[in-house]
Amino acid sequence: MSRIGKLPIKVPSSVEVEINQQIIHISGPHGKLFRKISDLMSVEVNDGNIYVKKNKDTRIANQLYGLTRTLINNMVIGVSEKFELTLQLQGVGYRGQVKGKELILNLGYSHQVLILIPVGIDIKVEKNVIIIITGFDKELVGQLAATIRSKRPPEPYKGKGILYKGEIIKRKVGKSGK
């Protein structure tokens, strides 16, 4: 049985929770999110806490138990506090800027890389090389960060590329000349 699934989710006073059949709606000061819950799970709200329970005791229900609780917890945290991810551009001439609803990246290619910013996501660029992504949907923030990083992943020989904040690239030794 999942130890994470058993834990109650504390709901802040600024967050409202509404459950319609198998769809949970969570709204707060930063936005509104909803998610369809599996038929194997049931969700209850009691005295400021959300509880997730299994309807059946099957293998799939056990797998979804902790996942469902974590997804709902991320929704509650997102609408009350927001999520933030920081990326760093490392390399000569690598720069980023935000223009309207687009992120423009110079990554050493012969062209600029344009990335559309989805609704509900805010992007700030500091010092031309630090990209800060904030939003209330953790899944969307993480996916956008992964998409940006995929445009120029870090390489181990020179250490150039787009890195997550605090990420360390293991460097390799290049060819030895004879």
Q: What is the pLDDT of residue 175?
A: 83
Q: Are residues 10 and 77 in the same domain?
A: yes
What pLDDT digit, counting tens, does each position of 83-127 carry? 999 999 998 999 999 999 999 999 999 999 999 999 989 999 999
Q: Are residues 74 and 91 in the same domain?
A: no
Task: For residue 173, tell me if it sits in a domain.
Answer: no
Among residues 59, 81, 103, the one where a domain terminates is: 81
Taking the C-alpha atoms of residue 128 and residue 96, their distance in angstroms, rounded to an integer, is 5
Q: Are residues 69 and 93 in the same domain?
A: no
Taking the C-alpha atoms of residue 91 and residue 146, their distance in angstroms, rounded to an integer, is 18
In the chain, the percentage of residues whose pLDDT exceeds 70 is: 98
Among residues 36, 60, 81, the one where a domain terminates is: 81
CATH number at residue 60: 3.90.930.12
What pLDDT digit, counting tens, does each position of 158-169 carry? 989 999 999 888
In the numeric block, which tokens belong to residue 138?
């953790």
pTM, to two decimals: 0.88
Q: Are residues 105 and 61 in the same domain?
A: no
Residue given tokens 């699934």 in the structure block: 5
Residue given tokens 């909803």 in the structure block: 34
What per-residue string of b and e applies to 70-99 under the rule 16 or more CB within 10 Å gives b?
bbbbbbbbbbbebbebbbbbbbeebebeee
Q: Is the separation of the CB atoms in 40 and 14 below 8 Å? A: no
Q: Is the separation of the CB atoms in 87 and 130 below 8 Å? A: yes
Task: For residue 171, tell me if it sits in a domain.
Answer: no
Looking at the structure of the chain, the number of domains it has is 2
Q: Are residues 58 and 113 in the same domain?
A: no
Q: Is the separation of the CB atoms in 155 and 82 below 8 Å? A: no
Task: For residue 154, tell me if it sits in a domain.
Answer: yes
Residues 6+ apart with CB under 8 A from 125: 96, 97, 98, 103, 131, 132
Q: In what order do the strands lie in the sheet with 16-20?
A: 16-20, 23-28, 31-36
Q: Are residues 65 and 123 in the same domain?
A: no
Length of the chain: 178
Q: Are residues 73 and 14 in the same domain?
A: yes
Q: Are residues 31 and 101 in the same domain?
A: no
Mean pLDDT of 124-146: 95
Q: Are residues 96 and 59 in the same domain?
A: no
Q: Are residues 67 and 132 in the same domain?
A: no
Q: Are residues 142 and 153 in the same domain?
A: yes
What is the signed CA dihedral for 16, 19, 25, 28, rounded to 10 degrees? 0
Q: Are residues 95 and 158 in the same domain?
A: yes
Task: For residue 170, tell me if it sits in a domain.
Answer: no
* Residue ranges making up the domain that contains 116: 83-164
Among residues 81, 116, 134, the one where a domain terminates is: 81
Smallest Cα–Cα separation from 121: which of 109, 133, 130, 132?
133
